[in-house]
Amino acid sequence: MGKQQQQPKPAPAAPPPQPSKTAHSPLLTYASMVTLLSLCPPFVILLWYTMVHADGSVLQIYEHLRDHGILEGLKAIWPAPTLVAGKIILGFALFEAALQLLLPGKRFEGPISPSGNVPVYKANGLLAYAVTLLTYLSLWWFGIFNPAIVYDHLGEIYSALVFGSLVFCLLLYIKGHVAPSSSDSGSAGNVIIDFYWGMELYPRIGKHFDIKVFTNCRFGMMSWAVLAVTYCIKQYEMNGRVADSMLVNTALMLIYITKFFWWESGYWCTMDIAHDRAGFYICWGCLVWVPSIYTSPGMYLVNHPVNLGPQLALSILLAGILCIYINYDCDRQRQEFRRTNGKATVWGKAPSKIIASYQTTKGETKTSLLLTSGWWGFSRHFHYAPEILAAFFWTVPALFTHFMPYFYVIFLTILLLDRAKRDDDRCSTKYGKYWKMYCNRVPYRVVPGIY
């Protein structure tokens, strides 16, 4: 396994970095890990079955499990992985891996790590996204491959992903012990914690293939887009038309994913990449949870088309686009502020900021600029609010006949509120008194005036 492409200058030896402090009590954190490890895999199958075979009805699933028992009920609906599913997954994974390695892209340096390493990336995500969608649609248009096959084998695909990704995370755990890619790695001394949170911050294969970029961006986010298109095509082939509800849902999701790849290098500076290690939480989540849970509103709409009418459809579409734009502009504003070392104007004015100093694990003193104006003057994680609202707007075309299409919105809300707390705790430890100054100036965590 290769080392990071850029290493810091030699420094005095330091103990191996340990995983970040948890945002909750150790007991609650441990219980949460065990619960998620146990429940997430079967929930993926339950959600797929509910959306595709049970009309999105929680009551139907409850009655099924009540009548058959939980274990027997799960066994009855859990599809076995098939060769077709394996070929679809492997073909997609190899295609995305090839694009990640071979397509041209600008060099991008991520933020300096706790151990002083600077990860180097090739920023070609937007090009890979365009090539992926163009290839997928061309295969359908010219009759080479019918995306409806993916929908028809969706349960088998999710089943294969559930088990295959667990093996993948186990290999990451072993790699972290025997062949870490950089000094940003280490064990917490507990097998479950190491498997769940991960051993390495920046695992790579060789010098150029970044594993977290592949799992998070090129498999997870790309599969979200591919499945959104798949659901549209499946509905068209079933009904001879695509309902306006499906069009709004798909359009908003694709706009959001386009925004993600446009800003992909910014994502490499976020908690997911720069702070969370590569374990079950991040990697299994992106390989399995994203393509199943994040796409679930569209999965439901395939068999439950809703006719919104032009006025309501356009209103939902425009509201969703506005939320996605605000989410993007929040990230753009902060990224520009950092790129110019605090000299960029914010809404036409000089930015308000706090200069915070901190020490690295090697005892070096560094400084960071904390933006306290613009969107970032409303709350410390304001960008999460429009992201949650955008998810609501691409789900609401399903209307309110059933609860399950809204599971993703509820999950995303819990995820982002928890992430905001974890980030606040991490920053409080890192910046100390400067973070207190920041919180005094920007008192709300996510929703201004509420939380």
Q: Is the dihedral of CA 313, 319, 325, 328 positive or negative?
A: negative
Round to whole Å and give the CA distance between 279 and 108: 24
Mean pLDDT of the chain: 89
pLDDT of residue 78: 96
Q: How far is CA 121 from CA 104, 106, 337, in A?
A: 11, 8, 21
3-state secondary structure of 367: strand
Residues 6+ apart with CB under 8 A from 298: 227, 228, 231, 232, 246, 249, 250, 253
pLDDT of residue 25: 59
Cβ atoms 297, 240 nearer than 8 A: no
Q: Average pLDDT in the 80-108 region?
A: 96
Cβ neighbour number for residue 46 with a 10 Å cutoff: 21
Closest CA to 315 of 372, 248, 379: 248
Round to whole Å and give the CA distance between 386 and 239: 34
The residue type of 358 is Y
Q: Please state whether beta strands 204-205 and 353-359 pair in parallel, antiparallel, or not at all (unpaired).
A: unpaired
Helix (H) or strand (E) holding 359: strand 353-359
pLDDT of residue 15: 39
Q: Average pLDDT in the 173-177 region?
A: 94
Q: Average pLDDT in the 290-306 region?
A: 95
DSSP string, 282-348: IIIIIIIIIIIIITHHHHHHHHS-----HHHHHHHHHHHHHHHHHHHHHHHHHHHHHHTTT-S-BTT
Q: Which residue has the tokens 């006025």?
A: 311
For residue 266, pLDDT beyond 90? no
For residue 14, pLDDT beyond 60? no
For residue 215, pLDDT beyond 60? yes
> Which range has highest mean pLDDT (12-21, 39-48, 188-197)?
39-48
The angle subtended at Cα 360 by Cα 266 and Cα 419, nearest 5°, is 45
Q: List beta partners, residue 368.
A: 356
**Among the listed ranges 40-49, 153-162, 261-270, 392-401, which one has the minimum average pLDDT value?**
261-270
Helix (H) or strand (E) holding 184: none
> Which range has highest mean pLDDT (22-26, 182-186, 248-252, 353-357)?
248-252
Q: Average pLDDT in the 247-260 region?
A: 96
Dump pLDDT digits (tens) for 322-331. 999 999 999 8
Dump pLDDT digits (tens) for 117-161. 889 999 999 999 999 999 999 999 999 999 999 999 999 999 999
pLDDT of residue 26: 66
**Residue 261 CA to its chain's centroid (Å):** 12
Token representation of residue 342: 């605090």
**Structure confidence at residue 30 as a pLDDT band (50, 70, 90):** confident
pLDDT of residue 20: 43
pLDDT of residue 11: 36
Round to whole Å and give the CA distance between 146 and 431: 53
Q: How far is CA 350 from CA 110, 222, 334, 342, in A?
A: 26, 38, 13, 9
pLDDT of residue 19: 45
Q: Average pLDDT in the 418-437 region?
A: 88
> Could you tell me which residue, 215 or 30, shows the higher pLDDT?
215
Round to whole Å and give the CA distance between 261 and 222: 9
DSSP string, 241-273: S--HHHHHHHHHHHHHHHHHHHTHHHHTTSHHH
Cβ atoms 291, 227 nearer than 8 A: yes
pLDDT of residue 359: 76
The residue type of 406 is Y
pLDDT of residue 272: 87
Dump pLDDT digits (tens) for 377-415. 999 999 999 999 999 999 999 999 888 899 999 999 998
Round to whole Å and give the CA distance between 373 and 114: 27
Dump pLDDT digits (tens) for 191-211. 999 999 999 999 999 888 999
Dump pLDDT digits (tens) for 351-365. 888 888 887 666 677
pTM: 0.87
Q: Average pLDDT in the 217-240 region?
A: 96
The angle subtended at Cα 306 by Cα 301 and Cα 311, nearest 5°, is 125
